[in-house]
Each structure stands twice: as C-alpha cells, then as structure tokens.
Structure 1
Amino acid sequence: MTFRSKLFATVAFPVLSASLIATPALADALMKPFEVAQDSGEQAQPSEEELLQQRQAEEQQRAAEEEAQRAAEEQQKAAEQEAQRQAEEQQKAAEEEAQRQAEEQQRAAEEEAQRAAEEQQKAADEEAQRAAAEQQKAADEEAQRQAEEQQKAADEEAQRAAAEQQKAADEEAQRQAEEQQKAADEEAQRAAAEQQKAADEEAQRQAEEQRKAAEEQQQQTEQQQPAEEQPVEQQPAIVTDEQQQPADGSTAEQPAEGGTEQPATAETGETPAGEPVPEVVDTLSPEEKQAIAEDPGKTDETVVLPVENGAAVLDSDKDADNTGGRMSREERRKQREELRAQEEVPLPVSDDSAQAEIPQEVREAVPQKIEAAIKEEGQRVDAAPVFAVPETTNIVNNTVINNTVINNNTVNNNTVNNNVTQVNVVETIDNRTVLSVGNQLIVRGDDRPRLRRDSEEVYYDELARGRTRETIVRPGGVQIITIYNRYGDVIQRSRIGRDGREYILVYAPELEDDAPRPDLVDVGYELPPMRLRIPLRDYIVDTSSDPDRDYYEFLSEPPVERVERVYTINEVKQSARLRDKVRRIDLDTVTFATGSAEVPMSQARTLRKVAEAMSKILDKDPGETFLIEGHTDAVGSDKSNLVLSDRRADSVASLLTEVYGIPPENLQTQGYGERFLKVRTQSAEQQNRRVTIRRVTTLVRPVASAN
C-alpha cells in the first residue's frame, strides 16, 4: 500500500463516512411527522409552518452537507498538505539516509580498494625488489666477468704493447747509441788525427827550428872556441797545453779555435771542453749519511742525499762543491762550527716569525705604497715595453744590501764594496735571453705571455724613473697589475679580485730607486753557510717515494731559517743560498725524455695531489708565490741546458694552470741547467732531469704580523 493510500484510509475516509451517515439521520428526523400522520390515518396537508420547517430542514441539511463537504475538502486538503510535508520530510530523511549509507559504502569501498591496492603495491614492490636484486646480481656478475675479460685483454695488450715498445725503444736506443758511438768514434778519430797531425807538424817545425838554432849556436861556439869542441845539449821540443795528451795515449779534447764554446744539443752527449770540476770524495759510509739525514743539526758536515753518488742537499753547498771541491767543504764545515758556538736563533714557527727582523711599521706601510703606485698617473703606450739589458752589474756586499727601507739599519753604512761585473748577451731564443755575468751563464725568461693567456685586455703605462705598469684584465674583472723597472725586474705585483680586494704577490722596494741595479748577482754569497737543523724528510719531499705525504701541510711550513729582509724575485732566483731557506718538493714522478720539455699527460696526473695542496694554500691566501725550477743532467752544453731547463719549468707551470687551475701570476719559473745535480755524475741520469717546487712567499713580500 502506498503512502497516499494509507493517508486516505486513516484520515479522509472516516470524515467522508461521517458526512454520509449524518445525511440519512437528518432525513429521518424530518420525515417523522409524516410518518406519524400516516400512522394515524389522517390525510392532512402539511402546513406552511411545516413546509417552512421542512424547507429550513432541507436548507440546513444542504448547508450541513455543504459544510461537511467543505470541511471534508479542507480536511482532505490539510491531510494532503500534511501528507506531502511528511512525505517530503520522509523523502529528505530517506535521501539523507541513502546518501549516508552511500557515503559509508563509498568509504568502505575506498578503504577496501586502498587496502587491496596497498597489498598489491607491497606485493609488486617485493616482486620488483626481488627481480631488481636478481637483475643487479646478474648484471654485477656479468660486469665482473666482462671487467675481468677486459682487464685480462688490456693486461695482455698492455704487456704486448709494452714489450713491442720496449723492443722498439731498445732497438732505437741501440741504433742511436751505435750511430752516436760511430759518429763520436769517427769524430774523435778525425779530431785525434788532425790534432796529432797538427802536433806532429808543430813538433817537427819546433824541432827543426831548435835543431837549426842548435846548429847555429854550435857554429857560434866553435867559432868562439875553435880549440875545444863543446857538445850542445839537445833541448826537448816545447809542447803547448793544446798539444798535451793524457798519459794513457788518448787524445785530449781541444777547445774550439778562438776559445769560444762550440754549439751542442742539450743532453745529447756532446759536452764542451772546460775546466774540470774539482772532485768531491765522500768519506762517510751510507749508514753515517743516513744518520745525518735524520738529524742534520748534530753535524757541521755537508749534508748529502743518502744515495749512491748523492749530491749535497743544499743548493748553496752544491755551488761550493762545483767551485771548491773538498777544500770548500772543509772551509764551510769550519764556518758552521763557528756558528754553532754562537747563540743559535730559534727556528721560525711561522712566516711572521721568519720575518721578525722586518719592523712592523714597515710592513704596515707596504699596502699604502703599493696602492699609490697602482693609482700613479702614467702615460698610456700602445705596445709592450722592451726591457734593457745592463752592460754591467754591481755586486754589493751584504751590509749595504741590508741597508734598505726594509731593514732601515744604517749602522754599518760606511762599509761599501762594489765589484763591477761585465754582462753580455750570449743568445736570445724565443722569449729567453742567455746572459754571461762574469764567468757564469744565466737564463732570463719573460713570463708575460703566460700571464696574458686568456686575458680580455692588456695595457701599459709608462711611469716616472723608467718604470712600466702592466695591467692584465681577466674575465670577470680580475686584474693583475705589475710594475717593472727598466730591466724588466718586478718591483711589485698585485691581484685585484672581483670583489675589489687586493692581494700583494711580490714587493721589492729597493728597485724603485732612480738608478735601479739589475738583479743578476747572488746576494746570498754574503750570508754564512746555512746549517740545516731539521730532518731531511721534512726539508725535501720526493713525490715518487712519498706519494701519500700531506703536501699542503708540507708547503705551509715556514722557512727553516730567518729571512733578513724582503728580497726581489730575481734575487731569489739567482741565489741558491736564499732558496735554501725554504723547503722543496722534487717532482720526480714527472720525467723528461732526453732533450725534451714535454710532460706526458700520463705523468701530468701525478701532479694532482701537489696541485690540490697549492690550490688549498691559495684559497687561504691568494697572494702566495711558488717557484718552479727546471733542471737537466750534465750531458750537453751549459747554454743549451739552461734553455732546456727553463722550458721544462715553464711546461710544468703551464700544466698547473691549464689542467689544475693554478693562477699563472702565482707561479714563477727559472731554469738552472746542470748546475744543481741531484746525483753527482757527468753521464745521462734521469733523476737529474727534474722539476722542483718551492713556496717562496716569505722571501718576496712582507707577511702580515700575527700580533
């Protein structure tokens, strides 16, 4: 039964039934008088009153019916409205209930779906993880198998290639050696024949002249003493130095005509004639040398490398050995013994303490002086300057050298000894000039091309007193500003970073004089011989024998001796005694082929740890300066070896910049040829063909005081 049917049965139907029931009852009431009259047998007509009553009754009945009908309709209407309201409410409640149930069902379905999805995802993840683990395991096994096969193939190929290269190198070396030996034998034989021929001709000529002179003298004697024959003693033929031969009968090497050095290719076996180097014979046993190396401060002897034919450790001692032999060693031992008797100055513990003799007020004035020189007005020029070569140089004793604005000490200013030394240009090769200073050859390179590499702009200003200011602008606005004197010596060099901060790299105030002296002499000769007071391992590091060394810590160490003043960069380059004050790293993992300055890339990788240490030092102080030294073995002429060694130093400096990002302005280079051998031999020796790195900051600029 529908809701509308229920409503009609409970409300509308009873009202309608009541109205239907009431109508017959009212009719019965009206009809009763007629019924009574009929019962009494009277046929009387109804009176007007009765008719009126009847009519009224009919009207009342009709009104009652209409009222009942109206009431029924109103009740029906009210019932329908109520029913509609209740229906709407029930419909609303039903819809809300249905919506609630639907939402609950939806939520339950979503929760069930989420649970099922999570379970499926978990199962899928576990399956994927298992499959990935199996695939990874299979891939690892396959990769390991392939790597082993590739390694095996590479090893076999490398072994084969190495064998072939070794065989080819051996054959080539043997061929070259045979050719060189054949050429040398032929040349020696030809020279010996020519010298022997010349000597025989000269001896024959002199003998003929002496014989003729002897005959003339004999004739004169016979004329003066006719009665007595006087025998004339035959004088031996006079043999000059050029004609003397060794006692073993071999032909001595003769100097070239005119005394000039014949050209020779570096490290190729042709050695020019010259004065023999005095031989130094080490009398110490290997064990004694090793003990000295572990604690050099306990002895006054010359410290040597504890290896076979090891040369002196200090470059200044090598210089002394090259000129004085054993007597020089003995003299230096006595001087060290005298120094030991005096009160020893403590070893520097920092760069600042190493420069303790430089007054603090002088250090503080340096930045202002450098800034003034940078801002000084000058005359802009279009081309790079061509620096002059001095004709002479003055060797000034140590007292006067120390009497500068740095030391500011004029106590001994009355003792001045100047020795004039002639300077000549021997040869100019590329951007290098070989000079003879007195009896010594030196090479001076121009590092400006290396500094200008990758620059955006370079310009020059001429300043007063013959100075030139060079400004190099790098990408990003970094500026390298260098002031040179007329000879190309660096007076000062600074770097101004992107943030405008200035870092001083080199500062040499004494070069600012009106008549600057060229830096071509060894000012360290005026200093007493140095006593090495730290273990050899803490003074020299070989990258091949000590690859795990902390190079940053080693390079950060202060000098091993007090620094008397701030020196120019060229004074440091030209003085072994000054360089001995700082420690060194021998890059013996970088080896050079005979006569070559090229660094193979396979060996360039061995510089990584040293380069990282240098970068770390520069991160802490961008004004640090490193000296890159090039060396050769003793085969070849001094001139060619000097140029070759300078090229080697430049190659390593360029590699440090291009591969490892070391700024070129922080690197100074200098070649020394065969002057500072590591192993004392005149033969070809790989250990002597090397490059050395030193941190020379404390020698070439004032450092900030720690106080």
Structure 2
Amino acid sequence: PQDGEQQNGGQNTQQGGDQGRKPVAAPVDQGPPPTDDRAAQQEIKPEKIVPVTEEKGTRVERAPDEIARDRRRPKGVDVVRKLGDRVILQFNNQTFVQSNDAPRVTRGAKEVYYEDLSGDRTREIVERDNGVRIVTIRNRYGDVIQRSRIAPDGREYVLSYVDERHYEDDSDWRDPGDDLPPMRLTIPRREYILDSEDVESPDDYYEFLEQPPVEKVQRLYSIDEVKRSARVRDIARRVDLDTLNFEFGSASISDTEVQKLEGVATAMEKLLKKNPAETFLIEGHTDAVGTPEANLALSDRRAEAVAEALTNAFGIPPENLTTQGYGEEYLKVNTAAPNRENRRVAIRRITSLVAPVASNN
C-alpha cells in the first residue's frame, strides 16, 4: 500500500510514540475490502445500546466553553500551551490539539443544558426550534462516548457509541491502533484517496464517500480515539480537498472557496438522507512554516472553518461533522517552504468506526 502510506506519512509509525518497540502482529490478508458498512462491522459483537436519555441526571449550570479548556486530563498528558480556545497537549511522544465542538453544535439552539451522570460523566442536551434534540454523553476526560439525535417523534439516531469498558480498563490514553496489525491496502490508491482536482463529476464525491472502510472494524471507537489514532483513521477512505485554498497563516474561507465545497456537501446531504446518523471527520493541515504548536491550532481552525461553511452555506447539521487539526505532521509535499498544497483539508466518512450501523437502519 505504498501510495497510501506515503500520503499519510507512513501509516505504521505515527501517533504511537513507542509503537515501534512493541511486538506487532504480522499483517493479515483480510481479502478484499468489505462490500458495505454492515459487512465492515461483522467482527463486532452486537450489544444492547442503552438510550442516551435513560439514566437520570442531575442538572447543573455549565457553560459550553468550559468543556475543553478545564477538563481533567489522564495521567501522562501534559498541557504544552493554551492558544485561545484551543489546548496543545503532549502524550506518548506526540503533540496534538484539543478543541471543543460544543459552540458549533449549540449555536442557534432553543435551549442547552447539562446534567451530571454517575461515574464522573456529563450529559449535554441541545434542543432546537424544530423539536430535534442532540444529546451527548462525555466521560470524565471530556471524550464523547455517546451522541444521538432524537427526532421530534422520539426516534433515536445513534451518531456515536463506544463501550465504556474500554475507558474503565485504562486510566490513560493509548493508541487503539496498537492492537491492530500493520495495514495492508489491497486496492489502488485512487480507490483509497480521492483528490478533488481529479473529480470530473459531482457524483464522484458521493460514490467515493459511500464506500465502506477498507478493512473490517474490530470494535467501535470513540470519535476522540479516531482523531488520535492514525492507524484507526486509515481504515476509512479519504477525500483530499486540494482545490480549496487557504491563504498563508489564515483559516478563513472566501465566498469563492466556499462554493468549491458544493460537490462534497451535496454528497453528504445525499448520504444523510439514507442514514441521518453519518459522521464525517474533517482534518485540517498546514505547511511546515511556523512552530508546530501554532500550526496545530491553525489547522484545527481550518477544519472548523470548513465545518462551519458546510453547515452555514449548505445546511449540513453540525452534529454530523467532527473536526481535528494535524498541523504539519502529514505534509503532502515534503518541503519546509510555504506550500499551498500542504494548506488543505481532508474528509473521511467514519460512521462505521464510531456507530453501530445496524441500530440506525
């Protein structure tokens, strides 16, 4: 899979710090990629999904912006810097940026309130004017462990769900990719990464994003685990929005650039009509000019700017989008000079990694 590995900066060496010193299982030939999302989750034992509102909570006063900056950290996680509303963290020899999606999800809501649950968990309830509720449960570290959209008729669509035992066993963060063998890509690069400059028809985005992961998913992951693990992210195919340009040092998107999102927004809209519980990860990237910490924050703002544009200009619900900046870690063009190709965003449909597909069909 050399193409995919080069594009991603070497899939088996990132994000794991000391991963190279651990015994890793030999690559397993899984055969061809799964034919659909359900087949991708074949290895996952079905479990009873507890409704997100079932447990009785205690209502508390809490502002959304408190969630990211003031949350507790697992042992071994150090705060390197606070840059505005973002926090640069270091653990396991890797540095990453943490931000808070609550303001994006809660904007324009009729009411937002918070509840404390057992086990140091919190529940955020966002009520919209149209009767829809977005309910999010976070663990003691602020990781999203369950998020659902509840329709006015009471139907619950599970956007993300992870077995909390994966957290109870570990008092610190670890890379779940360490449990997986090195990746073996058995499909051509063009079926794994779609460059927007190669798109001939807007339908290309839909046909590509509709494709299932390239290997079977071993368990459901939290959205935060997917963001932190290159190996897990790489299970999902990737759209590189090469045609979307950011000015040097800027995260703002001009109206002209926003229009370039129309094709991918139309694809998302079509996918959400079929499954309202889809989750798309928007990754932000920078070139290598500037400090790594500043670039992490800038790339995170770029990802957020794209998510805002998809919601404001095209009506994609904010809860179906999650964002993460990776700074200069995954350069597309290997240069330390200013480079427009490296100032980019990428999109993956990560639904099969974070939500039980069968529960929403």
After TM superposition, give the deviation of residue 321 of structure 1 in Å: 12
Give yes or no for contact 1:312–1:318 (8 Å, CA) kept in 2.
no
In 1: Cα distance, 2:360 partner to 2:133 partner: 28
Higher-strand-fraction structure? 2
In 2: Cα distance, 1:458 partner to 1:649 partner: 24
Higher-helix-fraction structure? 1
Whether 1:609 and 2:263 are equivalent positions in the alignment is yes
Structure 1 pair 315–696 and aligned structure 2 pair: CA distance change class (3 A): farther
Structure 1 pair 423–501 and aligned structure 2 pair: CA distance change class (3 A): same
Give yes or no for contact 1:491–1:511 (8 Å, CA) kept in 2.
no
Deviations 1:198-232 (A, max 9, x none): xxxxxxxxxxxxxxxxxxxxxxxxxxxxxxxxxxx
After TM superposition, give the deviation of residue 359 of structure 1 in Å: 2.1
Tell me which residue corresponds to 2:102.
Answer: 448
Amino acid at match of 2:133: Q
Match for residue 297 of structure 2 among 616, 621, 643? 643
Whether 1:476 and 2:130 are equivalent positions in the alignment is yes
Structure 1 pair 506–322 and aligned structure 2 pair: CA distance change class (3 A): closer
Whether 1:382 and 2:61 are equivalent positions in the alignment is yes
Whether 1:570 and 2:229 are equivalent positions in the alignment is no
After TM superposition, give the deviation of residue 585 of structure 1 in Å: 0.7
Higher-Rg structure is 1
After TM superposition, the score normalised by the length of structure 2 is 0.90
Structure 1 pair 669–511 and aligned structure 2 pair: CA distance change class (3 A): farther
In 2: Cα distance, 1:323 partner to 1:487 partner: 21
Tell me which residue corresponds to 1:357.
Answer: 43
Secondary structure of 1:374's counterpart equals coil
In 2: Cα distance, 1:514 partner to 1:577 partner: 22
Tell me which residue corresponds to 2:183.
Answer: 530
In 2: Cα distance, 1:315 partner to 1:705 partner: 35
Match for residue 160 of structure 2 among 502, 506, 515? 506
Deviations 1:650-701 (A, max 9, x none): 0000000000000000000000000111111222211111000000000001
Secondary structure of 2:124's counterpart equals strand
In 2: Cα distance, 1:322 partner to 1:567 partner: 16
In 1: Cα distance, 2:98 partner to 2:347 partner: 18
Secondary structure of 1:466's counterpart equals coil
In 2: Cα distance, 1:349 partner to 1:501 partner: 28
Whether 1:688 and 2:342 are equivalent positions in the alignment is yes
Give yes or no for contact 2:149–2:159 (8 Å, CA) kept in 1.
yes
Whether 1:676 and 2:342 are equivalent positions in the alignment is no
Whether 1:313 and 2:7 are equivalent positions in the alignment is yes
Secondary structure of 1:560's counterpart equals coil
How do 1:107-122 and structure 2 match up within 5 A? none
Match for residue 521 of structure 1 among 162, 174, 177? 174
Tell me which residue corresponds to 2:3.
Answer: 303
After TM superposition, give the deviation of residue 315 of structure 1 in Å: 4.9
After TM superposition, give the deviation of residue 388 of structure 1 in Å: 2.6
How do 1:425-436 and structure 2 match up within 5 A? 425-436=79-90
Give yes or no for contact 1:491–1:512 (8 Å, CA) kept in 2.
no
Secondary structure of 1:544's counterpart equals helix
How do 1:360-439 and structure 2 match up within 5 A? 360=46, 362=47, 365-366=48-49, 369=50, 371=51, 373-384=52-63, 386=67, 387-392=70-75, 422-439=76-93
Match for residue 198 of structure 2 among 542, 545, 550? 545
Unaligned runs of 5+ in 1: 1-295, 297-301, 305-310, 393-421
After TM superposition, give the deviation of residue 498 of structure 1 in Å: 2.3
Equivalent pairs counted in the alignment come to 353
Give yes or no for contact 1:540–1:586 (8 Å, CA) kept in 2.
yes
After TM superposition, give the deviation of residue 630 of structure 1 in Å: 0.1
Structure 1 pair 343–610 and aligned structure 2 pair: CA distance change class (3 A): closer
Whether 1:625 and 2:279 are equivalent positions in the alignment is yes
In 1: Cα distance, 2:308 partner to 2:192 partner: 26
In 2: Cα distance, 1:322 partner to 1:581 partner: 16
Deviations 1:69-126 (A, max 9, x none): xxxxxxxxxxxxxxxxxxxxxxxxxxxxxxxxxxxxxxxxxxxxxxxxxxxxxxxxxx
Higher relative contact order (CA 8 A, sep 6+): 2
Secondary structure of 1:590's counterpart equals coil
Tell me which residue corresponds to 1:133.
Answer: none
In 1: Cα distance, 2:355 partner to 2:292 partner: 32
Amino acid at match of 1:545: D
Tell me which residue corresponds to 2:250.
Answer: 596
In 2: Cα distance, 1:352 partner to 1:316 partner: 28
In 1: Cα distance, 2:347 partner to 2:40 partner: 20
Structure 1 pair 545–649 and aligned structure 2 pair: CA distance change class (3 A): same
Match for residue 310 of structure 2 among 644, 649, 656? 656
In 2: Cα distance, 1:664 partner to 1:655 partner: 10
In 2: Cα distance, 1:469 partner to 1:517 partner: 21
Give yes or no for contact 1:465–1:514 (8 Å, CA) kept in 2.
no
In 1: Cα distance, 2:349 partner to 2:224 partner: 15
Tell me which residue corresponds to 1:150.
Answer: none
Structure 1 pair 629–345 and aligned structure 2 pair: CA distance change class (3 A): same
Structure 1 pair 446–478 and aligned structure 2 pair: CA distance change class (3 A): same
Unaligned runs of 5+ in 2: none
Structure 1 pair 438–705 and aligned structure 2 pair: CA distance change class (3 A): closer
Give yes or no for contact 2:213–2:235 (8 Å, CA) kept in 1.
yes
How do 1:219-238 and structure 2 match up within 5 A? none
Tell me which residue corresponds to 1:462.
Answer: 116
In 2: Cα distance, 1:316 partner to 1:577 partner: 10
Secondary structure of 1:633's counterpart equals coil
After TM superposition, the score normalised by the length of structure 1 is 0.47
Whether 1:492 and 2:143 are equivalent positions in the alignment is no
Give yes or no for contact 1:432–1:443 (8 Å, CA) kept in 2.
yes
Deviations 1:610-654 (A, max 9, x none): 100000100111101000000001111110000000000000000
